[in-house]
Structure 1
Amino acid sequence: MTNQLEQLYQQVILDHARSAHGRGLAVADAAGHPHGESHQVNPTCGDEVTLRVALSADGRTTVEQVSWDGQGCSISQASLSVLTDLVTGRSAEEAEQLGETFRALMASQGKGLDESLEDALGDATAFTGVSQFPARIKCALLGWAALRDALAKAGAASATQDLSQEES
């Protein structure tokens, strides 16, 4: 990766960490929208998040809203912000697929993914460099683990896959 590209990626992460999208837990919907909540902690560094997802009430399981509150390093906070932007308005199945793609990016050891997969990730490709540092991968994946769990708790069929496959 070129030095200029690395600097751009670092700036994207810092911008999302400073002005995080979705921060602040929304009130759970009493109007019948399915919702789920998950609290996740990274015991290695102390990052933690409570993430709440609200799905559409029309049975289509569209992610209508992602909200979260947490504390941690800029990587975990920026990853949550990017996740919020990526999955809001998409089906639970699409959200889970994006999570799988992001997990593949984190397993790439800095090599990235093919262009079509990276295009789907948008700003999340900024975390390519993070995948070179095993201790930081868990920070980037924290919100994605919370999303998967929250979708399962909301009853989204695609998210009820075996959660034991989630990276620890």
Structure 2
Amino acid sequence: MNGLDSLYQELILDHSKHPRGKGIADEPGRVASSHQHNPMCGDDVTLQVHVSDDGARLIDVTWDGTGCSISQASASMLAALVEEDAGDAGLPREQVDALIEGFREALRSRGKIPLDEETYADATALSGVSKFSARVKCAMLAWVALEDAIARA
């Protein structure tokens, strides 16, 4: 294992053991949620989004779930990314859609398209998952939940 792979493995384990954004609470404002289940391995994620009143901006993401370290780390990395990028004004819907689509494209590329570290921060560590098709669904679970929750908001 090279140094970068080792760092990525450490990031995944850190987010799995010390998840960011975990814990769904009742929040005022425009809130929607989505529950996603991976029947292949039993991973479950429920993700809640808080969007602006006009639905144009993502304000916050919280989640809860159980499953493998990849699914849990991915949800944590997603929540941390949104928190970092949203700031006080929130993240524009178009940017959220682009993040989801870029993540999906990279994970389905079988290692041909790496995630950009400036765009995806710690979630870049999940780039290597794309080489293992059985694990792609684990990493995608929270991102699919985000896409679904935003559509419901």
TM-score (norm 2): 0.89
Contact 1:60/1:91 (<8 A) preserved: no
Distance 1:25 1:76 in 2: 17
Residue 81 of structure 1 corresponds to which residue in structure 2? Answer: 76
Root-mean-square deviation over aligned CA pairs? 1.6
Query: Which whole-Å deviations, capped at 9, do the CAs of 1:16-40 have from their partners, x for residues lacking one?
Result: 11111110002142xxx22211010
2:61 pairs with one of 63, 66, 74: 66
1:72 aligned partner, one-letter code: G
Residue 47 of structure 1 corresponds to which residue in structure 2? Answer: 43
Moved more, 100-109 or 141-150: 100-109
Residue 114 of structure 2 corresponds to which residue in structure 1? Answer: 113
Distance 2:113 2:4 in 1: 13
Measure how far apart 1:11 and its partner are.
0.6
5 Å-filtered alignment, 1:132-147, equals: 132-147=131-146
Residue 150 of structure 1 corresponds to which residue in structure 2? Answer: 149
Measure how far apart 1:140 and its partner are.
0.1
Structure 1: 5+ residue runs without aligned partners? Answer: 155-168
Measure how far apart 1:92 and its partner are.
2.2
Moved more, 101-110 or 139-148: 101-110
Percentage identity across paired residues of the two chains = 48
Distance 1:95 1:80 in 2: 15
Distance 2:33 2:5 in 1: 34
2:69 aligned partner, one-letter code: S
Distance 1:82 1:135 in 2: 20
Residue 18 of structure 2 corresponds to which residue in structure 1? Answer: 19
Measure how far apart 1:125 and its partner are.
1.1
2:132 aligned partner, one-letter code: F
Measure how far apart 1:113 and its partner are.
3.1
Measure how far apart 1:47 and its partner are.
0.1
Query: Which whole-Å deviations, capped at 9, do the CAs of 1:46-90 have from their partners, x for residues lacking one?
Result: 000111100123x26221111111000000000001111222311
Structure 2: 5+ residue runs without aligned partners? Answer: none
